Chains A and B, each alone.
Chain A
Amino acid sequence: MPDSPALEISGLVKRYGGRAVVDGLDLVARPGEVTAVLGPNGAGKTTTIECCEGLRQADEGTVRVLGRDPLVDAAELRPRVGVMLQDGGLPTGIRAQDMLAHVARMYADPRDLGELTERLGLGSFGRTTVRRLSGGQRQRLALAAAIVGRPELVFLDEPSAGMDPQSRHAVWDLVRELRDEGVAVVLTTHLMDEAEDLADHVAVIDQGRVIAQGSVRDLVSDGDDHTLRLDASPGLDLGAALGDGLAVTEPSPGSYVVVGAVGPTTVAALTAWLAERDVLATRLTVGRRTLEDVFLDLTGRQLR
């Protein structure tokens, strides 16, 4: 069944002390695709993933990993599912290369360690104890441990946290390669560029539910809508200048965002209106919405 999903979550509920951290979540991830679970801190990303990894028991709903129950069929699933935990989970008193070799011993046919070491640049710190590794080095080692057993499905919980740009790109390349080999990759992130660059499918979750999902293209394109950004003096009534059909906001004083059917006439009308008032636009850009715009629209701009 090539089309059967690698992961199928329906109606997942997980409560901690009566409070629902995951609250009726549905998600599907397919082989040969990267599924990004995007959400602010505390949205329930890690808890959801841990229910799939067999580390937590769901209170309600069903989770099917490769068609199996992650708790009941744990022994069968463990060799087929790779896991990279958010906090690493690496023993600290051991050398990096010994850690990877140890995890490899759990599998019948592990990946070639030399090749994996080369691929993720682990060689430069193979003989260093895990305790002394930088955050990015630990993340790369944890990723290597997650995929050393040739999994069909991998869960990567914030794989790029603490990584320098070089490490990040090495990791992204590897994730794309896994996808091309037919592996189902499920990653959580709150990095927009990570989701935008890597994901075939994005699920935005907030307060324990999926509030939007689809391809990045589906999520960012809203018909012919564009976003116009303008920096000028604060307090201008741009709404009056542009008329109906466009949403104008001033997220910070003097910075305006116009969303809607922005066309050539919109720009002409706006600049003419500014010229009449002798106001200089110090910046004016028009573009498609980014995933970050969508994300902030969906989850709000308040700090939490």
Chain B
Amino acid sequence: MTTTTHAGAAPTWRRVLAQTDFEARAILRNGEQLLVTIIVPVLVLIGLTQVDVLDIDTDGMSAIDFFTPGVLALAVMTSSFTSQAIASAFDRRNGVLRLLSTTPLGRGGLLIGKIAGVLVVGTVQVLVIGLTAVLLGWRPDALGVLLAIVAMLLGAAAFTSLALLVAGTLRAEAVLAVANLALLLLALGGGVIVPADRLPGPLEHLALLLPSGALGEAMRQAFQHGSLPAWSVVVLVGWTAALGWGAARLFRWH
């Protein structure tokens, strides 16, 4: 994207800010999107910590310390993948992407606005889920929070790339199905909420190669051990590069 502001166009930062605001509002105003990005993760957190739904060894930790990092990872996946994929797919089908790309915003500004919109929604998610967890007795330390922010940014990059890849290549109805199904499968068996080493058989190794498992592990290590696993960083950066390359090459605007 060019950084020069051409005559007649608003300055680049104002266009991108307007689009960020537009994207974030579109998600936070939409009932279904709010359900999947905020309400479901909060309910999962309450369910896992207040009701014994999963009979799992928490390594001597309290349930809230054990599960909150995974629920935050799940929240990142809902906003950067499920919600973004569905919104972009329908915007693409309805010509919204094409129309906005003909305004001074352009394709570059649209993309940056979308990514920034995801980050705004992610911030709201983390605040709501984090505060709920604190109310339930969670006490994260500062280093953990800092490392977790890095992990969440890496995770958001990988899952936004995946969202744009499916949104730009599949029919909108197919994206709706794929995005929800993938979220459910990854949440259950992808090493997000249930740590990869507790998954049965080959799933344990597979989950660590998936962006979901890498993000889940990174979040747990950050909060529980104050470190960021190198393997997770490599996996997330690798997925971002591969999926981003695929999205850039295969995305169809029509």
Contacts and interface: CB of A to CB of B under 8 A. Distances in A.
Given A55-B253, A88-B95, A102-B18, A83 B102 contact: yes
A254 interface: no
Interface in A67-84: 74-76, 78-81, 83
Nearest to B14: A105
B98 A80 contact: no
B213 to A, nearest CB: 33
Contact of A78 (B18, B106, B253): B106
Nearest to B8: A79
A161 B51 CA distance: 57
A4 interface: no
A281 interface: no
A85 B26 contact: no
A103 B6 CA distance: 16
Given A75-B2, A80-B7, A106-B18, 4 more contacts: A83-B103, A87-B95, A107-B8, A107-B9
A108 B9 contact: yes
B17 to A, nearest CB: 9
Interface residues on B, range: 20 to 34
Contacts of A94: 22, 26
B56 to A, nearest CB: 39
A91 interface: yes
Those 3 A-B pairs whose CB atoms lie nearest each other, nearest first: A89-B99, A79-B8, A89-B95
Residue of B6, B18, B99 contacting most chain A CB atoms (<10 Å): B99
A108 B5 CA distance: 10
Contacts of A106: 9-10, 15, 18, 103-105
Interface in A90-120: 90-94, 102-103, 105-109
Given A88-B94, A91-B91, A94-B26, A75 B4 contact: yes
Interface string A176-218: 0000000000000000000000000000000000000000000
Contacts of A54: 102
B101 interface: yes
